[in-house]
Amino acid sequence: MKIAVLDDYQSVALQMADWSRIREIAGIDVFAHPVPAQSAAHVLAEYNVVCLMRERMPFGRELIEQLPDLKLICITGPHNRTLDLQAASERGITVCFTEFNAHSAHATPELAWGLILAAARHIPVENQGMRHGRWQTTVGTTLHGKTLGLFGLGRIGRRMAEIGTAFGMPVIAWSQNLTDTAAASVGARRVDKSTLFRESDVLSIHVVLSERTHNAIGAAELALMKRSAILINTSRGQIIDERALVEALMEKRIAMAGLDVFCEEPLPGDSPIRTIPNTVLTPHLGFVVDDAYRDFYAQTVENILAFANGNPVRVLAPPKRSTGQS
């Protein structure tokens, strides 16, 4: 048996779990860099097992049908929106998942608040300035008393609201199906979509990418925002019209953006986003924490061993499929 562990950007997969029993029965190759879509079928042709890290690499029908030796696809996390489950099922490929990870529920909102604080107090700029002999080159802003707007109030959005309240921020929220009662349960006030963009001093995005939310934030929504506002995205890059966001930032129609996700990941070296000064950028670190990785890979090992021994693997029912990348 040959196993491919894909998109292990930090080269830590084999350190996060005990793979020794698998090494006795299989060869393991770890890919630290993304496999290009145009060569994926050739690169993965000889593998029987593919281990995917979240949604970093889309696994569609066209690719699956070009991998005749593939028998098992291991997903880290409870679902994967870029995997064609129907195509895998038609080919008789087993797809297994890892259970919901409680650490991930805190990891993304904690990173979002890191981006908020970094943007509000210009921490990256001042850090670089200190290393080059400069002293106090910017003037920041406090969060207390400013309005936190949440575009989505699900599991992560609710945690964001709790932390915002602790900072002394009034919290407003909008999503298509949000009710007054649900918002009030975490100390937030439900508003309409336009009001959310107009009143937010910090606007943080926490909705799932779907056909409904793709490019949900475009030029019209950005035009409603305060020139002093900070926009945070730790959800999916495709929720924002990237071109409209670049223009708004370059023209300083909004003050800052803290971005952890992008339309194309890894972010290309020539992306204009890399050159915009009023941004704080991180490379999709929202769920990337030691605790989550250890659970992901430990359960991946368990699934592979169970499959090899003819025992049941973790098979969870994923939500409706949509487009996205992790």
**Is 236 tagged catalytic?**
yes
In this structure, the dihedral spanned by the alpha carbons of residues 291, 293, 294 and 295, taken in order and rounded to 10 degrees, is 90
The catalytic residue among 190, 199, 236, 242 is 236
Print pLDDT tens along the chain (326 aa): 999 999 999 999 999 999 999 999 999 999 999 999 999 999 999 999 999 999 999 999 999 999 999 999 999 988 898 999 999 999 999 999 998 777 777 999 999 999 999 999 999 999 999 999 999 999 999 999 999 999 999 999 999 999 999 999 999 999 999 999 999 999 999 999 999 999 999 999 999 999 999 999 999 999 999 999 999 999 999 999 999 999 999 999 999 999 999 999 999 999 999 999 999 999 999 999 999 999 999 999 999 999 999 988 876 544 444 333 33
Give residue 313's pLDDT.
Answer: 83
The catalytic residue among 54, 56, 79, 284 is 284
Is the separation of the CB atoms in 232 and 258 below 8 Å?
yes
The catalytic residue among 253, 265, 294, 314 is 265
Burial of 166 (C-beta count, 10 Å sphere; 0-12/13-18/19+): exposed
What residue ranges of the chain are covered by domains with CATH 3.40.50.720?
2-97+289-308, 103-281
CATH of the domain spanning 2-97+289-308 = 3.40.50.720
C-alpha–C-alpha distance, residues 234 and 179, integer Å: 23
Is the separation of the CB atoms in 259 and 246 below 8 Å?
no
CATH of 103-281, one of 3.30.200.20, 3.40.50.10490, 3.40.50.720, 3.40.50.300: 3.40.50.720
Give residue 326's pLDDT.
Answer: 34
C-alpha–C-alpha distance, residues 238 and 209, integer Å: 7
**Is 265 tagged catalytic?**
yes
pTM of this prediction?
0.92
C-alpha–C-alpha distance, residues 58 and 326, integer Å: 9
Give residue 99's pLDDT.
Answer: 86
Helix axes 155-166, 102-120, angle to 10 degrees: 50
**Is 294 tagged catalytic?**
no
C-alpha–C-alpha distance, residues 47 and 3, integer Å: 6
